[in-house]
Amino acid sequence: MVLKQNLDTKIIYDAVFNLIEIANTNLPPEVYNKLSNYNCDYKNEILKNAYLAQSKKRPLCQDTGQVVVFLEIGQDVILDGEYVETAINRAVGDCYAKNFYRKSTVHDALYNRTNRGDNTPAIIHTQIVEGAEISIMIGIKGGGSENMTFLKMFNPTASEAEILEYVEKCALDAGENACPPMSIGIGIGGCAETAAFLAKKALFFGKSIKTDIKNVFEMGIMTAPTHIACMPVCLNLSCHSKRSASAKIKNGEIIYTSDFQKYDDVETSSNAKEIQVSDVSALKNLKNNEEILLSGIIYTARDAAHQKLVRMLDLGEKLPFDLKNAVIFYAGPCPAKNGEIIGPIGPTTSKRMDKFALVLYKNGVIATIGKGDRTINGLNALYFKANGGIACVLQDCVKKCELVCFEELGTEAIYKLHVEKLPLKTVWL
């Protein structure tokens, strides 16, 4: 006789709430150890960021993303109480509010891109499996790396070498947009949507395979049966802060299956030139690829704020701050909690702002700060690259923060920041 297991979905709420906290603030030990042995320019900043996030219980990245839930429910489990997806989404909303995580979810992808204000709904993948246990796997997925998702329908006779060549090309094309060194999940099989699902799950929980691809420190793979005429291959990328955690619910008890490790502080140093925002002459004399530590007043603005600023310029309206010699930081910080000047903060992908950049540069902006390469050049304009995925490190560079305008945009509001020794690399567009 099969024994049924009655469970109130309150226990799923508790597990999801705790797993989100774990995933957002603790770099998995296997990831930390791989990064410790990986050769990249700002490895110490990445490791220090892991220490700061864990010790301060603040998110590894300001983009606390969308919550992806892989939920496996044993068919002998009987769920009581609140509808399971309602319980999961309530856990997401409550956890993001309590912990001052960034809320990044909009109401509708096309018709209503206003922020929902609670980071729900989660992306929930539910499977019914054998037994009387529940497995919950959580992944936190930021927008920059999610935008670097690739899908290709290969011929069924494609070789493993051809697929790996495609993986390498995609990783190189992603460049700095996914905050390298990065992890890659590879999903192969099923239909197109199956491959995408497998890629996402493989990113966090797949079988590890060897990689020597530049800027990639980890790859996972999952495969599935497919049609005789098909070979769908999907890649899902993550920054170095591969945020995930898992648990099982067995006999009414939550058993956390993710490993934990306490991290030590890491020393960081820089011989970069110190530059003041107010020293316009010094800014204009910077050389390409020169590393600097920037201090002074800068302004945050990203996608939605840029739309509003350019619309105001088109209408001849007065802007909320003076663009002359202004420096704009493409960033949307986490909310500040008690005692903080600002929440964890870091750059978003710069090329999304390229369609607005020329207008703002022409109206006086002297420099912009963001992540990755751009699609614009020939402007003789100053652009600074900031390292992504070290939000807690960059948070400590902000000494004052003041809301300027567009508060209704949430994290996309414009803030006036006083920064000290913000580490950047110079690029002339």
Q: Residue 95 contacts by C-beta under 8 Å, 6 or more apart in sequence?
A: 16, 17, 20, 21, 101
Q: Measuring CA to CA, which residue among 343, 333, 338, 337 is closest to residue 299?
A: 333
| Token duo for residue 108 | 């509708």
DSSP of 58-115: --SSS---EEEEEEEEETTEEEESS-HHHHHHHHHHHHHHHTTPPP--BS-SSS---B
Count of positions (residues) in the chain: 429
CA distance 167 to 180: 15
DSSP of 126-194: EEEESSS-EEEEEEEE-HHHHTT-EEEEE-TT--HHHHHHHHHHHHHHHGGGG-SSEEEEEEESSSHHH
Angle formed at CA 282 by CA 279 and CA 286, multiple of 5 degrees: 140
Is 306 annotated as catalytic? yes
Whether a cis peptide bond, with omega within 30° of 0, leads into 121 is yes
Among residues 107, 125, 240, 306, the one annotated as catalytic is 306
According to DSSP, residue 289 is labeled: T
For the beta carbon of residue 155, count every other beta carbon within 10 angstroms: 9
Query: What radius of gyration, in Å, describes the C-alpha atoms of the chain?
Result: 22
Cα atoms in the 13 Å half-sphere on the side-chain side of 266: 19
Q: List own/partner pairs for 271-278 with CB under 8 A and 24 or more apart.
A: 272/423, 274/421, 277/327
Q: Which residues are catalytic?
A: 306
